[in-house]
Amino acid sequence: MSLLQENALAQPVGTTLDRYIMRAQADFPYATGELSQLLRDLALAGKIVHRDVNRAGLSGIIGSMGQHNVQGEQQQRLDVEANIRFIRALRNGGEACAILSEEEDDIIQTGNYQGQYVVAMDPLDGSSNIDVNVSIGTIFSIYRRVSAVGQKATPADFLQGGRAQVAAGYILYGTSTMLVYTTGHGVVGFTYENSLGEFFLSHPRIMIPATGPVFSCNEGHWFDYPDYVRQFLTACKERRMSGRYVGSLVADYHRNLFTGGIYLYPPTASNPLGKLRVLYENFPLALLIEQAGGRAASDNGPMLDLQPTDFHQRSPLFIGSAGLVAELVELL
């Protein structure tokens, strides 16, 4: 055996998601195992969607379904596939008593009435990019239910507000598949190893830089943006910041999380209340960014202080490095 082979075998395999969750379980507010299992269920569904995404071009599941979801958006075949995968995993896992999905109008009761948690999710964010092979993702948010255990979940379980989240995260399906999440004790990242079928800890403590070189928004809406947004973007350009916009929220957010920067989806003439959904896009990403040392705001204050009133409520979102978000908020 060569020295190179001996050195390779001497290296530890790494910390798997399951092992990490077991070790960190003592940090969870309710360390009884249910939240740990719930995170495993989400990871399992993420592995299956990872497989589906990577085989999409060969298995005939790319393209439009020819119908629209509750948001009025055209559903892609992979939207429907991902929705089914996550609902099935959460239902079979037994810990989630109910689910709220971007693809469904109302609460999905899982039948697990003894479950302590509810999950709000966007099963496949950025699905309009599926056909052109651009990174897409899953966003999820977890709450401890406030309704009586043993009964069906109620709207109040999902409308507690962003600061009531006990965990939140996303799965990015890109050049590598990553699971990034927080349980309120910092942000950790896991990378999927295909040959072993496991998520391994790759980023034990993710912190976003206080400022950064990137702004991310759809400048095609420039003339529909409010004056304060155009003023902020002009200042970014005067500083020679780079404009980077994929059009997939998870992908843009993930890049800025590591490089530093700001993501903007302001109100526009066609979407005066913003376009992104509060419960399963803005809230989970806002909790993550705050845990990573960043900041998230709507046009009415801190994102996590927004009181939701509707399952599919929308709001503007300004999220990323604390210094850049503060600069934009000052212009409000």
Quote the crossing angle between the two packed helices 283-291 and 249-259, to the nearest 10°: 10
Q: Is 102 annotated as belonging to a binding site?
A: yes
CB atoms within 10 A of CB 227: 8
Q: Is 245 annotated as belonging to a binding site?
A: yes
Backbone angles phi, psi at 234, to 5 degrees: -60, -40
Backbone angles phi, psi at 85, to 5 degrees: -60, -45
CA–CA separation, 85 vs 218, rounded Å? 31
Q: Is 201 annotated as belonging to a binding site?
A: no
Q: Is 218 annotated as belonging to a binding site?
A: yes
Q: Is 173 annotated as belonging to a binding site?
A: no
CA–CA separation, 311 vs 281, rounded Å? 12
Q: Is 228 annotated as belonging to a binding site?
A: no
Contacts of residue 75, defined as CB under 8 A and 6 or more positions apart, other chains included, come to 64, 65, 67, 68, 69, 103, 127
The residue behind tokens 């959460």 is 90
Q: Which amino acid is at 156?
A: A
CA–CA separation, 210 vs 107, rounded Å? 38
Q: Over 235-289, what HEC string results?
A: HHHHCCCEECCCCCHHHHHHHHHHHCEEEEECCCCCCCCCCEEHHHHHHHHHHHH
Supply 48's token pair. 């299956």
Q: Is 127 annotated as belonging to a binding site?
A: yes
Instruction: Determine contact, residues 22/35, Cβ cutoff 8 Å.
Output: no
Q: Is 273 annotated as belonging to a binding site?
A: no
Q: Is 125 annotated as belonging to a binding site?
A: yes
Q: Is 263 annotated as belonging to a binding site?
A: yes
Q: Is 264 annotated as belonging to a binding site?
A: yes
Q: Is 275 annotated as belonging to a binding site?
A: yes
Q: List binding-site positions.
A: 102, 122, 124-128, 218, 245, 263-265, 275, 281
Pick out the residues of the known binding site for Mg(2+): 102, 122, 124-125, 281
As annotated, the binding site for substrate includes 125-128, 218, 245, 263-265, 275
